Amino acid sequence: MSFSRQIVVLDAADIEAVATFWAGVYEGEVVRADADWYEISVGADHPVAVQRVADHVRPEWPDGQPQQVHLDFFVDDLRAEHERVMGLGAELLKPSSDPDAETGFQVYADPAGHPFCLCWGWEAWREELRQGSHS
């Protein structure tokens, strides 16, 4: 299978708030296609879009309804990125028990409740996966 473009589409009732949040996370800009569809522009790429769903139900993490996907972002500086996403309007759902560990993650939600993680230790994580020891 060959893809010419990949985009993650998030549902939200308030698409302007959610699009603005993700534009801040990606350090991009909001491109308003129409009243029901905004894309986040990062250079020539548009990795995320937000579509209006008037009766959107906020996902409940970790095991609520409706089912959802989440995004993982590997970062070099957890504390700086934590402050940045919180300043953009994120909600911290699950802090790490040890933010100084070699690998780890914290779970957040965007303004519409879509969960995402700030993760760290990508190289160590990859090595654990390669050796089959990551859980």
| Fold of domain 57-135 | 3.30.720
User: What pLDDT, in 10s, does the model give residues 4-47?
Assistant: 567 888 999 999 999 999 999 999 999 987 899 999 999 888 88
Q: What is the 3-state secondary structure (H, E, C) of the chain?
A: CCCCCCCEEEEECCHHHHHHHHHHHHCCEEEEEECCEEEEEECCEEEEEEEECCCCCCCCCCCCCCCCCCEEEECCCHHHHHHHHHHHCCEEEECCCCCCCCCEEEEEECCCCCEEEEEECHHHHHHHHHHCCCC
Pick 126 or 73 by higher pLDDT. 73
User: What pLDDT, in 10s, does the model give residues 105-117?
Assistant: 999 999 999 999 9
Q: Work out the average pLDDT over 53-69.
A: 80
pLDDT score at 2:
47
CATH of 1-55, picked from 3.40.50.300, 3.10.180.10, 3.40.109.10, 3.30.56.10, is: 3.10.180.10
Please, which pLDDT band fits residue 72 given cuts at 50, 70 and 90?
confident
